[in-house]
């Protein structure tokens, strides 16, 4: 799998970029945000790459940061979101902005992106919650709708627990303890995370 390319910008189009690496041209699909930051033709460029393999095709997707590539890969796990739609999302929002929108439960912001309706935006918030990490290292957890659970998620990630672990434990606690306070939930979460 190709994970990173360093070469010369040999061509640009509305869909992507052609990068010359030692005489071999790699055609990469890139989000509009990355396209806007590309250097001029003939200049050096470094891109984080996601190699997308299907039975009948191999596509390369390029990103200006590892964070954006990670957000892209995470979005591909959401049902109904394919590479084209994930690319459109990252063209409108950076990885950090997406993480914030998911964490705040901002359906309006997500559904403003072409190709994403209200139902897809709601599904993205549900399925991406706790799985996207901002540059600060905080997991995206539902904001106003999450209340004490949002605070709990941020606290646990800041204590050094992995977002995947935090998401699992928060899911368990949501089913069991809707009315408990922050301190009680924190003790329970810590007990389960240290098991």
Domain boundaries, the chain: 4-64, 67-134, 141-195
Q: Which residues contact 57 (CB under 8 A, 6 or more apart)?
A: none
pLDDT surpasses 90 at 62? yes
- Report residue 183 as tokens: 């301190």
pLDDT surpasses 90 at 27? yes
Residue with tokens 């997308």: 52
Q: Which of 75-89, 99-113, 118-132, 172-186 has the lowest mean pLDDT?
A: 172-186
Q: Which residues contact 80 (CB under 8 A, 6 or more apart)?
A: 120, 123
pLDDT for the residue numbered 137:
46
pLDDT for the residue numbered 134:
47
Query: Which of 3-12, 120-129, 158-167 is the most confident on average?
Result: 3-12
DSSP percent split of the chain into helix, strand, coil, nearest 5: 45, 20, 35
pLDDT, greater one: 137 or 151: 151
Average pLDDT value for the chain: 82
Rounded-to-integer distance, Cα 106 and Cα 101, Å:
5
CATH architecture of 4-64: Beta Barrel (2.40)
- Report residue 2 as tokens: 């190709």
pLDDT for the residue numbered 48:
94
pLDDT for the residue numbered 146:
46
Confidence tier at 138 by pLDDT (50, 70, 90): very low
Element (H, E) at 73: helix 66-75
Query: Is-same-fold flag (4-64; 141-195)?
Result: no
pLDDT, greater one: 126 or 141: 126
DSSP string, 41-69: TTSEEEEEEEEEEETTEEEEEEESSHHHH
Q: Which fold has domain 67-134?
A: DNA polymerase; domain 1 (1.10.150)
pLDDT surpasses 60 at 85? yes
- Report residue 14 as tokens: 């509305």
Q: Which fold has domain 141-195?
A: Helicase, Ruva Protein; domain 3 (1.10.8)
- Region 55-71 average pLDDT: 89
pLDDT, greater one: 54 or 28: 28
Percent of the chain predicted with pLDDT > 90: 22
Confidence tier at 22 by pLDDT (50, 70, 90): very high
pLDDT surpasses 60 at 53? yes
pLDDT surpasses 70 at 65? yes
């Amino acid at each position: 799998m190709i994970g990173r390319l360093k070469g010369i910008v040999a061509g640009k189009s509305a869909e992507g970029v052609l990068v010359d690496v030692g005489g071999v041209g790699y055609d990469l699909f890139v989000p509009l945000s990355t396209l806007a930051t590309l250097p001029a033709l003939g200049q050096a460029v470094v891109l984080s790459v996601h190699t997308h393999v299907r039975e009948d095709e191999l596509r390369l997707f390029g990103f200006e940061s590892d964070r954006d590539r990670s957000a892209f890969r995470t979005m591909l796990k959401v049902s109904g979101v394919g590479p084209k739609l994930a690319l459109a999302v990252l063209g409108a929002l950076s990885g950090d902005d997406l993480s914030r929108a998911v964490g705040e439960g901002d359906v309006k912001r997500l559904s403003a992106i072409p190709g994403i309706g209200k139902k897809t935006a709601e599904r993205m918030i549900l399925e991406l919650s706790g799985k996207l990490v901002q540059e600060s290292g905080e997991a995206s957890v539902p904001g106003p709708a999450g209340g004490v659970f949002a605070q709990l998620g941020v606290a646990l990630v800041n204590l050094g627990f992995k977002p995947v672990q935090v998401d699992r434990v928060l899911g368990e606690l949501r089913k069991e303890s809707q009315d408990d306070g922050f301190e009680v939930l924190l003790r329970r979460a810590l007990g389960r995370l240290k098991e």
